[in-house]
Structure 1
Amino acid sequence: MQFTPQINQILNQLEKIQSFNAQNPLDDTRKYLETMCLQLSGKKEPVTMIEELNIPKENHQIPIRIYRPKGKTAHKSSAIIYVHGGWFIAGGYETHDAVVRKLANKTGSVIIFVDYRLAPEHPFPAGLNDNIDAVKWVIDHADSLGIDQNQIGIIGDSAGGALSTAVSTEIGELLKFQVLIYPAADNTFTSNSWKVYENGPVLNKEGGIQAWNWYLPADQANNPLAIPILLKNFKKTPPTLVILAEHDPLVDDGKELADHMENAGVTVKKSFYNDMVHGFMHMGEVLNETQSAINEMSEFAHQNFKMSTEKQL
């Protein structure tokens, strides 16, 4: 397969990453993702304010980070919930900080990043429950957060795309749109793109199987809220943008999920990024396509926020 010089540059850099003092394969995966994002995400844009809060639950707390976009002073702002990727086992504030800052400034929306519980310490449905609870909490506290509860969307990348799909299936009537960035929609690894890209780049089948085994308990093996490709009911799903990358083992699963939504009557836009690899949203130091995707998501958000406002008038 042929990659662009920029992608080859990135792949060469990824090969050189060594996780510092990794204690085990799980620790190695988490540190590798952090290092990759730190090295390749590029400059972090300034925003007006970043706040960190904990949403109280009965037996735990859900940490969230709130990004206020640069120059934004409106009291009742639109908001976007961001659900991060990392194979359900990795990722957090620092891996996605650069991307979320860009999104906040470009969309002009408050971005609420959910630091949900990760597997294997907290397998499914812990992370999903955290994200559902976070959306509900934000809506319930919209006034004190300076947010318009009628202008909220959700974005998820990779594993976060799977979680976002499940959130919108359950409470999508509360959301004006969703964006799924190269979503992890299936756990069977049987698609043609998994056969082509079994050994990468970026993702590999062996690591994916291990991650899903950590994430999904045996008694939940066929739960469509964990495995979006199995979903049948999209009645609550809002208009959806699905961003796909050409050289990504997840690309065929993402296409199939988008087709299922479209066939169920959801308004779906599929956007295909030629030459790109999984995780290209974290590669803005080298790739112009990172900003192109930010721009596209911003336009999609604005369109859907505007449409919902017009319907209310």
Structure 2
Amino acid sequence: MELTSSINQIVSHLGKIQSFNAQNPLDDTRKYLEAMSLQLSGKKESVSVIEELNVPLENHQIPIRIYRPKGKNIQKSSAIIYIHGGWFIAGGFETHDAVVRKLANTTGSAVIFADYRLAPEHPFPAGLNDCIDIVKWTVENAESLGIDPDQIGIIGDSAGGALATGVSTQVGEFLQFQVLIYPAADNRLNTKSWETYENEPVLNKEGGIQAWKWYHPEGDTNPNPLAAPILIKDFKNTPTTLVLIAEHDALRDEGEELVQHMKDAGVPVSTSFYKDMVHGFMHMGEVLSEVQYAVNEIAAFAQQHLETVEK
């Protein structure tokens, strides 16, 4: 595996990150992702406003943030639901804040960030259900949110890509497009790319096995396709999809296989292959120019399927 000087610089930095006062392996994973994101994401862009709300459901609330893009006074805005990664067990507002700000400004859409429930405290299907409920809530409350209910898309990265794929098969009729960024699709971790990159700095196989056990305890004996979307046969309602694949990523092969399954099912899907990149590169804007390139590509794809109305 030959890495560029920029990636080698990042790999070296990742090896030095220490989680502050981690209490256990789960706490260590969560704090490591926070530290990586804060240290490598780069300067955060200003946006027009960030609204924090709690979406009430029958037995709990889902915290969300709505990022309104800078420099736009928009009524009846287009919107993007963003579902974050973190192996289903980590991540939240702060780990993805820099990326979501870029996406809001570049797409010109309001971005609704769902802080869904995490495993192991809340295993599958809790997080998936939260994400489905956020899509439904956004549509139902579109007028009061200043959002056009006919101009909504979804983006998910890593574990969020798995969740987004499941969401789209359930409520895809509300979505105009889907973007999956290096999606986690298979709980078996038995591909060639996993063999090659099992000790990758951002992901490692031992941690992945544990994360899947926490998220989907029945996955070894009775895997649910909505948890492990590599098993989905019927991609009903799935909208036009763009999938970003990183070259030096343990999830590369399962992402490519997921794309093929979508094509076989008749979903309009395209792949963008990011040469030299590692898993999680979207968090590395401090060093990598590819982050802005990816954001621009996602924005161009989104704008093909959304009509942002400026007033």
Smaller-chain TM-score range?
over 0.9
Distance in 2 separating the partners of 1:74 and 1:157: 27
Distance in 2 separating the partners of 1:193 and 1:44: 32
Q: Tell me whether 1:225 sits opposite 2:226 in the alignment.
A: yes
Q: Please state whether the residue corresponding to 2:247 is helix, strand or coil.
A: strand
**Which residue pairs with 2:257 in the alignment?**
256
TM-score normalised to structure 1 length: 0.97
Distance in 2 separating the partners of 1:257 and 1:70: 35
Structure 1 residue 217 displacement after superposition: 2.5
Structure 1 residue 99 displacement after superposition: 0.1
**Which residue pairs with 1:46 in the alignment?**
46
Structure 1 residue 165 displacement after superposition: 0.1
**Which residue pairs with 2:266 in the alignment?**
265
**Which residue pairs with 2:306 in the alignment?**
305
How many residue pairs were aligned?
Answer: 308
**Which residue pairs with 1:282 in the alignment?**
283
**Which residue pairs with 2:36 in the alignment?**
36
**Which residue pairs with 1:210 in the alignment?**
210
- In angstroms, what is the RMSD of aligned CA positions? 1.2
Distance in 2 separating the partners of 1:134 and 1:102: 21
Relative contact order (alpha carbons < 8 A, sep ≥ 6): 1 or 2 greater?
Answer: 2
In the alignment, residue 58 of structure 2 is paired with which amino acid? E
Q: Please state whether the residue corresponding to 1:17 is helix, strand or coil.
A: coil
Cα pair 1:117 1:127 within 8 Å, conserved: yes
**Which residue pairs with 1:26 in the alignment?**
26
In the alignment, residue 157 of structure 1 is paired with which amino acid? D
Q: Tell me whether 1:104 sits opposite 2:104 in the alignment.
A: yes
Structure 1 ranges of 4+ moved more than 4 A: none
Calculate percent identity across the aligned residue pairs: 72
**Which residue pairs with 1:177 in the alignment?**
177
Q: Please state whether the residue corresponding to 2:180 is helix, strand or coil.
A: strand
Per-residue CA deviation, residues 139-196 of structure 1 (Å, 9 max, x unaligned), is 0000000000000000000000000000001110110000000000001111110011
Distance in 2 separating the partners of 1:144 and 1:73: 15
Structure 1 residue 221 displacement after superposition: 3.3
In the alignment, residue 211 of structure 2 is paired with which amino acid? A
Distance in 2 separating the partners of 1:222 and 1:152: 30
Cα pair 2:194 2:250 within 8 Å, conserved: yes
Cα pair 1:159 1:184 within 8 Å, conserved: yes
Cα pair 1:168 1:236 within 8 Å, conserved: yes
Q: Mean alpha-carbon deviation: is it higher for 219-228 or for 135-144?
A: 219-228
Distance in 2 separating the partners of 1:75 and 1:230: 40
Distance in 2 separating the partners of 1:176 and 1:3: 36
Structure 1 residue 92 displacement after superposition: 0.1
**Which residue pairs with 2:12 in the alignment?**
12
Structure 1 residue 305 displacement after superposition: 1.6
Distance in 2 separating the partners of 1:196 and 1:12: 19
Q: Tell me whether 1:294 sits opposite 2:309 in the alignment.
A: no
Cα pair 1:201 1:247 within 8 Å, conserved: no
Q: Please state whether the residue corresponding to 2:78 is helix, strand or coil.
A: strand
Cα pair 1:166 1:225 within 8 Å, conserved: yes
Cα pair 2:15 2:201 within 8 Å, conserved: no
**Which residue pairs with 1:131 in the alignment?**
131
Distance in 2 separating the partners of 1:189 and 1:165: 18
Question: Structure 2: where are the runs of 5+ without partners?
Answer: none
Cα pair 1:194 1:249 within 8 Å, conserved: yes
Per-residue CA deviation, residues 21-70 of structure 1 (Å, 9 max, x unaligned), is 00000000000000000000000000000000001011110000000000
Distance in 2 separating the partners of 1:169 and 1:94: 28
Structure 1 residue 95 displacement after superposition: 0.1
**Which residue pairs with 1:120 in the alignment?**
120
Structure 1 residue 72 displacement after superposition: 1.4
Cα pair 2:34 2:94 within 8 Å, conserved: yes
Distance in 1 separating the partners of 2:227 and 2:268: 22
Distance in 1 separating the partners of 2:254 and 2:30: 24
**Which residue pairs with 1:193 in the alignment?**
193
Distance in 1 separating the partners of 2:32 and 2:72: 34
Q: Please state whether the residue corresponding to 2:168 is helix, strand or coil.
A: helix
Structure 1 residue 240 displacement after superposition: 0.1
Q: Please state whether the residue corresponding to 2:153 is helix, strand or coil.
A: strand
Distance in 2 separating the partners of 1:34 and 1:258: 29
Q: Please state whether the residue corresponding to 1:38 is helix, strand or coil.
A: helix
